[in-house]
Amino acid sequence: MDYAEIKIMAKEQKVRVTDLIVLAPANDPFYVGTDGDTLLGNWFYELWQRFNYNTGVHIRRVHYQIVSQKARVLMPNGMAYENTDQCWKLLGQAAKNARYLGLVDPLALDDRRNPAPMIFAEFAGEYGVIGVTGELDYSYDLSLPYFPDLPDYELSGFVGEQDYLVEVWAEKSTMNDVLVPLCRGHHVNLVTGLGELSITAVALLVERIATTQKPTRILYVSDFDPAGLSMPVAVARKLEFLIQDQDHDVQLHPVVLSRQQTIDYALPRTPIKDTERRKNGFENQHGQGATELDALEALHPGELRTILTGYIRRYYDTGLDSSVMDAKVELYDELEAIRGEVLSEFEPEIEQLRHEYKELRTKVNEQMSGYQTRARQLWHAISAELKHKMPDLENFPVPEPKEANEIDGALFDSNRDYFEQLTAYREWRNGGPGEQERQNDLV
């Protein structure tokens, strides 16, 4: 079922198109296909090709890449695309149309507003298989092992540790493709959230500080907007309260995105919604509009990493690992020299045991040679017989789960045809049979 079929059916049945769809015409995937939808979808697809996108693209970056073009990008209506809420909404609709029309893979756009699904379901993928194990192949050695290794030193825990606990805190996860590898590479903790970080997040930070007993530096990353200015303060205040009776050295630094950075990188401003109560105070102090963190990466790829790397390395000795490795090599050399001296003291006894062991091994291996051949032959015969008598798994089916106690009145059921499903949606909205059946199930 698609737009064209729905139009034909509406005409044949003499009903309104809205009687044959469920969502608003602009949102219902089955009704994507109007001339306007196609125009918008093709416009987005052309941008997709122009910017050479592939996968893992966040739509906010598409927005900022459009507004950063020297030659203004025109929308299908001929108007220039601008950094406004109206244009942003149009871009979202265009991206949706392009995916529903099959122009862009639905998975190509990255959803960074929502956390990744947690997959716990089990899936075997194939039916069981019986195999035979335990055969003695020619790599299996039944001879006496070689002379055992002599005692040696074993070094563990000889690792370098930075003096500071450094953490990057970000108000959003849309920059994780930059922040995760950066923090992993510098052994820096990363804390992200959707907006203001919670008391729990700060309490866990205090726990880490107490465990490490290190001076701690928090590098805060947020949008340049009223919320972005208040979030570091809110976190700092929670932190101040929770450690007020503890002797810790902690600093929090808002490092990105500042007003000066928006100027230095010529980042575009977006109008602040009138519903934002802090709008006037913010704009009186910083000028009109706000700037999202995504704009920096969209217009200056790699710059966020560069900025944060500079701050991190104020507290991170990049030469520490190399220094530790040099010290470890020096220690290994010393241990090897000591071991050599000790073994030389016991050399006569070692050589005597080595000689006796060699003679024993020769005798045992001579006796085991024929034994090993017979063992291989016997093991092979047993394996062959096991394979010959192997039962057919079809006679031993894997137990099936008990029949499900299906919930009645599903909102969506793929076994319904288009019109049966349409009726189910309407009944659900009207509190019809589906809802009543579900309530009966719970009684």
Mean pLDDT of the chain: 87
Q: Taking Cα atoms as reference points, which of 17, 11, 54, 47 lies closest to residue 33? A: 17
d(CA 60, CA 76): 19
Write the pLDDT tens digit of every residue in 88-130: 999 999 999 998 998 999 888 887 666 666 665 566 666 678 7
Are the C-beta atoms of 164 and 215 separated by less than 8 Å? Answer: yes
Highest-scoring range by mean pLDDT, 126-130, 155-159, 437-441: 155-159
| Residue spans per domain, the chain | 32-111, 127-159+319-397, 165-316, 404-443
Contact assessment for residue 403 and residue 434, using Cβ atoms and an 8 Å cutoff: no
Q: Determine the number of helices (DSSP H) and then strands (DSSP E) in the chain.
A: 15, 4
DSSP per-residue string spanning 114-156: SPPP--------S-----------TT---SPPPPPPPP-----
Two tokens, residue 278: 């802090």
Q: Give the residue among 241, 261, 143, 150 at the shortest CA–CA distance from 199.
A: 241
Q: What is the sign of the dihedral through the CA atoms of 278, 282, 284 and 287? A: negative
| Lowest mean pLDDT segment, chosen from 134-138, 142-146, 174-178, 241-245 | 134-138
pLDDT at 437 over 60: no
Q: Is 219 helix (H, G, I), strand (E, B) or coil?
A: strand
Counting every residue, how long is the chain? 443
Question: What are phi and psi for residue 138, nearest 5 degrees?
Answer: -75, -10
Model confidence pLDDT, tens digit, residues 300-359: 999 999 999 999 999 999 999 999 999 999 999 999 999 999 999 999 999 999 999 999
Contact 218, 253 (CB under 8 A): yes
Q: What is the pLDDT of residues 19-30, one digit of tens each?
A: 898 888 888 888
Three-class secondary structure of residue 270 per DSSP? strand
Higher pLDDT, 76 or 58: 76
- Indicate the fold that domain 165-316 takes in CATH: Dna Topoisomerase Vi A Subunit; Chain: A, domain 2 (3.40.1360)
Instruction: Calculate the alpha carbon distances from 266 to 72, 181, 262, 291, 305 in Å.
Output: 16, 26, 6, 10, 18
